[in-house]
Amino acid sequence: MNLLAAEPNEQLAQISNYLVYSAMAVYVLAFCAYIAEWTFGSRSKVARTAAALTKKPDADDAVPAQTGGVTVRAKAAEGGTAVLEKPAPPKTPKIVTRSGNGRRGDLPDGPGAAAGDQQGDMYGRIAVSMTVLAFLLHCAGVLTRSLSVQRAPWGNMYEFSTALSMVAVAGYLGFLIAKKNVRWIGLPLVTTVLLDLGLAVTVLYTDSDQLVPALHSYWLWIHVSLAIICGALLYLGAVGSLLYLFRDSYETKLLGGGKPGAVGTSILERLPSAASLDKFAYRINATVFPFWTFTIVAGAIWAGDAWGRYWGWDPKEVWSFITWVAYACYLHARATAGWKGRKAAYLALLAFACFLFNYYGVNIFFNGKHSYAGV
């Protein structure tokens, strides 16, 4: 029996829909918990960046009199005898300013939205727990959708959207399991996932059905699954680049003696430093780029098998290549001294915008051999 030609199981498809709706409801609870974490978390760890940039020595930290590179100290316990000691290294935060982009190095990371007191940490743990539960429901929804048609669950834009957001959450939870300080991603991630699933179940929804003959290939598992994984991880990198721009502006204002608003301070102080965010985004984009390259190559091989040509300048092929070029320019810019920091972050966001247009815009506004969106 040819499984690819099996009739859709409407009961499993309906169960899949219920599971996706349930996942959305739990994601809403996770969203509320993340908001509570950021709102009610301890303020004791806030303003560490401001302190690092504006710290003034206390009276007790005043530098003692020095003579010839040594310090003169009086010891009352020894009858006021003066002794000579080498001065201790100054305990001031190291701030490195890099020319051209206003970046600082060695600034402290914020709590990463993991607040310092028991109340803030409690909300954070609840948020992560709700995210895990929603993720499990999300996975079950994608799996039952696949079982309903006995094929890969990414044959149209609805299925691609649900799978992409699922992998993005999986990446976030994977970083948490690896003990990485990425809880600051939780709030923007859950917000985006809710928007993505909301769009999927309304505008992009397509009934469970079989694929067109051209898609009946094992390359569907390889090419499209790689595109989903790359897109999900590139999203996490884009979040890092976007938050880097806000945090970098905040640090620059503090370094210049300015006073950011109270709301901005309470939010931005909880993020990692600009240098850490920049490094996080770069490492993700640099790691994903070879896989995106292979995704395009795999698509070309599949096109050769399905349509008899490897490249035909189809709109999807063109924008996949444009996305590749944009990320290649970003990585090249990072290797060039004049294109680090904010300029590179803008280029990374532009590259991710190309990916989004390749996903949404091409499928909606253009017709081509890749017009399997179902909308």
- For residue 238, what is the enclosing H or E element? helix 225-255
Is 88 among the domain residues? no
Is 338 among the domain residues? yes
Is 83 among the domain residues? no
- C-alpha span between 191 and 216 (Å, rounded): 34
Residues 152 and 39 in one domain: yes
Evaluate whether 116 touches 41 at the Cβ level (below 8 Å): yes
What's the predicted TM-score (pTM) here? 0.79
Evaluate whether 39 touches 202 at the Cβ level (below 8 Å): no
**Better-predicted residue by pLDDT, 341 or 213:** 341
Give the CB-side neighbour count of residue 163, counting CA atoms within 13 A.
Answer: 22
Residues 317 and 258 in one domain: yes
Is the pLDDT at 73 greater than 70, yes or no?
A: no
Residues 282 and 340 in one domain: yes
**Domain count within the chain:** 2
- pLDDT number for residue 65: 45
- C-alpha span between 222 and 220 (Å, rounded): 6
Is 94 among the domain residues? no
Residues 126 and 169 in one domain: yes
Enclosing domain of residue 155: 8-51+112-210
- pLDDT number for residue 295: 94
- pLDDT number for residue 312: 79
Residues 239 and 143 in one domain: no
Residues 172 and 290 in one domain: no
Edge-to-edge strand list for the sheet holding 81-85:
66-67, 70-75, 81-85
Name every residue whose Cβ is closer than 8 Å to that of residue 135 and which is 6 or more positions away in sequence.
Answer: 23, 166, 169, 170, 173
Reading phi first (left if > 0) and then psi (alpha if -120 to 50, else beta), residue 309 is in beta
Per-residue pLDDT tens for 137-173? Answer: 999 999 999 998 888 888 888 999 999 999 999 999 9
Residues 198 and 261 in one domain: no
Residue 357 confidence class, pLDDT cut points 50, 70, 90: very high
- The enclosing domain of 198 has a CATH number of 1.20.120
Domain final residue pick, 153, 176, 210: 210
Residues 196 and 255 in one domain: no
Residue 106 confidence class, pLDDT cut points 50, 70, 90: low
Residues 31 and 161 in one domain: yes
Evaluate whether 271 touches 243 at the Cβ level (below 8 Å): yes
Residues 200 and 247 in one domain: no
Domain final residue pick, 210, 242, 276: 210
Residues 370 and 314 in one domain: yes
Is 200 among the domain residues? yes
Q: Chain-wide mean pLDDT for the chain?
A: 79
Residues 181 and 262 in one domain: no
Domain final residue pick, 210, 226, 260: 210
Mutual angle of helices 186-202 and 118-149, in 10-degree steps: 30
* Mean pLDDT, residues 184-195 taken together: 95
- C-alpha span between 214 and 212 (Å, rounded): 6
Evaluate whether 323 touches 237 at the Cβ level (below 8 Å): no
Nearest to 334 by CA among 324, 323, 346, 319: 346
Of 2-11, 119-128, 269-278, 302-311, the least confident: 2-11
Q: Look at the chain and count its residues.
A: 375
**Better-predicted residue by pLDDT, 175 or 101:** 175
- pLDDT number for residue 121: 76
- Burial code of 183-210, b = ≥16 C-beta within 10 A, e = fewer? bbbbbbbbebbbebbeebbeebbeebeb
Is 202 among the domain residues? yes
**Better-predicted residue by pLDDT, 257 or 226:** 226
| % of the chain at pLDDT higher than 70 | 70
Residue 123 confidence class, pLDDT cut points 50, 70, 90: confident
| CA 177 vs CA 57, 140, 181, 312: distances in Å | 40, 21, 10, 43
Mutual angle of helices 274-307 and 315-334, in 10-degree steps: 150
Is 103 among the domain residues? no
* Mean pLDDT, residues 66-95 taken together: 44
Residue 228 burial (CB count, 10 A): 22
Is 85 among the domain residues? no
Residue 85 confidence class, pLDDT cut points 50, 70, 90: very low
- C-alpha span between 24 and 160 (Å, rounded): 16
Per-residue pLDDT tens for 30-59? Answer: 999 999 888 776 444 444 555 555 554 444
